[in-house]
Amino acid sequence: MKKSILLFTAFFMISVAGYSGNIKESAKEAEFTFSVSGMVLDTSTGEALAGVKVILEETDTHAYSDFDGKFVINGLTSGDYTLSASFISYESTFLTINSDIIEDQKEIKVKLDKITK
């Protein structure tokens, strides 16, 4: 009986130790995530553009700008990304961004040029 209790206790302690390691690793990963936020504007008028699709090419993560031209993409890890913005009757724009730029700059300004023929 004592051996069974001792064996159960040892197994339980090993399980708890392994689980707590996973929690620490998850917390560590969560610390290194960031968000990209910005505003999409018409280059010539300076007006906000709603409904612009903003994509981070490497992750295929995207968002659409709201009525005020603002967008947010959450949960990114550190690294370099290519941000693209596209909208009907506007030329697509591509920007290279990384986590260092995001930390220094509160909001990215994305400007789109209207297609003229």
How do residues 4-29 score in pLDDT, each as one tens digit? 665 556 565 666 555 555 555 555 55
DSSP 8-state code for residue 42: E
Task: With respect to residue 117, please indicate whether it lies within any of the assigned structural domains.
Answer: no
Q: Is residue 37 part of a domain?
A: yes
Instruction: Residue 30: count other Cβ atoms within 10 Å of its Cβ.
Output: 9
Question: Would residue 10 count as lying in a domain?
Answer: yes
pTM of the predicted model as reported, rounded to 2 decimal places: 0.68
Say if residue 40 is in the same domain as residue 91.
Answer: yes
Residue 45 resides in a domain: yes
Domain extent at residue 97: 32-112
Same domain, 71 and 84: yes
Same domain, 18 and 66: no
If one counts the domains in the chain, the total is: 2
The pLDDT tens digits of the residues spanning 24-65 come to 555 555 456 788 899 999 999 999 999 999 999 988 799 999
Q: Do 48 and 14 fall within a single domain?
A: no
Residue with tokens 């040892």: 10
CA distance 98 to 79: 5
Structure confidence at residue 104 (pLDDT):
57
Residue 79 lies in a domain: yes
Is the residue at 7 inside a domain? yes
